[in-house]
Structure 1
Amino acid sequence: MNSSTDENRPGAQTPVDLTRAEALHLLSTVSYGRVVFTRNALPAIRPVTHLLDGDEIIIRTRLSAKVAIAVDPGTVVAYEVDQIDPVQRLGWSVVVTGTARQIIEPDRLARYEKLLTPWVDLAMDVAVGIQADLVTGIRFGGAG
């Protein structure tokens, strides 16, 4: 299984665990990720844009969106971001697990509306905050 393509490709990388601070810093350097939530008792995943506000990940969505419907106060969700180069086998991945809640404070909603642009061209009328209760991350090959 040693083709010339395989010979030019770097070998497998050993993952290195990130500290909480390193993982949150890397998360803050990208503007999109994937939120994982429960829908009809099964896992569901949606790509979204985000911003990090302290230890809280903020996403904007629609009131009718599956993720907004699934989030009751105290609902546990996961949020994943990464930057991985599959050719060089370098990069990092961060997963945050925490409680989510809809943000209802008018001043916070207005602030997030200005700071966070969704990547779909639909009206976003809900903001969801995900508390970074458990933060894990790995780095491959010293990237990041």
Structure 2
Amino acid sequence: MNRRNLKELSEAESLRRLAAVPFGRIVFTRQALPAIRPVNHVVVDGQIILRSGAGTIISAEVATWDTVVAYEVDELDADRHLGWSVVATGVARLVADPGEAARLGELVHPWVAGAMEQVISIRPEIVTGFELVP
């Protein structure tokens, strides 16, 4: 096995990498336990934007009130043991303004079929990242 060094990424580099990928995982609390769901996202004006449908777990647990969440993205190569990971922690809020929700919602392209009329914004307050390097 090739052991790698762990290199810490700056906040700016972490945010750049987060914005460069379309897919991540939102981590939230459900029934007092951690829950994780994969979602598509975009980064707009420093905020992580995602969409959800009414009646989903994300809608019920995250979109109904201001919720502290973590958002994780990565690119890892299991064969070469290289890659990186970024975690952003902040408050998720439903975008309530219909015009702003429509504008931001147009930018997110979910991979899952179905209506996703809710737009959620996460404002990162803590951003950390690391890279596995030779």
Q: Judge conservation of contact 1:89–1:140 (CA < 8 Å) in 2.
A: yes
Offset from partner CA, 1:65-89 (integer Å, 9 cap, x none): 1112112433100000000001111
Relative to total residues, which structure has the larger strand share, 1 or 2? 2
CA contact (8 A) 1:68 1:128 kept: no
**Alpha-carbon deviations, 1:88-126, whole Å to 9, x = none?**
111100000001110111121111232111111010010
CA RMSD of aligned residues (A): 1.2
1:55 positional shift: 2.0
Structure 2 residue aligned with 1:87: 79
Aligned residue identity for 1:45: I
**Please, which of 91, 94, 104 is the counterpart of residue 99 of structure 1?**
91
CA contact (8 A) 1:33 1:49 kept: yes
1:59 partner letter: L
Deviation at 1:12, TM superposition (A): 1.0
Task: Report SS of the residue matched to 1:88.
Answer: coil
Letter in 1 for 2:43: L
Partner of 2:105: 113
Between the two proteins, the alignment pairs up a number of residues equal to 133
**Amino acid paired to 1:65:** T
What is the aligned partner in structure 1 of residue 44 from structure 2? 53
Query: In the alignment, what sits opposite 1:122?
Result: 114
Secondary structure, in 3 states, of the residue corresponding to 1:115?
coil
TM normalised by structure 1 equals: 0.88
How far apart in 2 are the matches of 1:20 and 1:54? 15
Report percent identity of matched pairs: 43
List structure 1 segments (4+ residues) > 4 angstroms apart after TM superposition: none
Structure 1 match to 2:31? 40
For residues 35 and 18 of structure 1, the distance between their equivalents in structure 2, rounded to whole angstroms, comes to: 20
Partner of 2:69: 77
Give the number of the structure whose alpha-carbon radius of gyration is greater.
1
User: Any unmatched runs of 5+ in structure 1?
Assistant: 1-5
1:35/1:78 contact within 8 Å kept? yes
Contact 2:50 2:105 in 1 (8 A): no
TM-score w.r.t. the length of structure 2 is 0.94
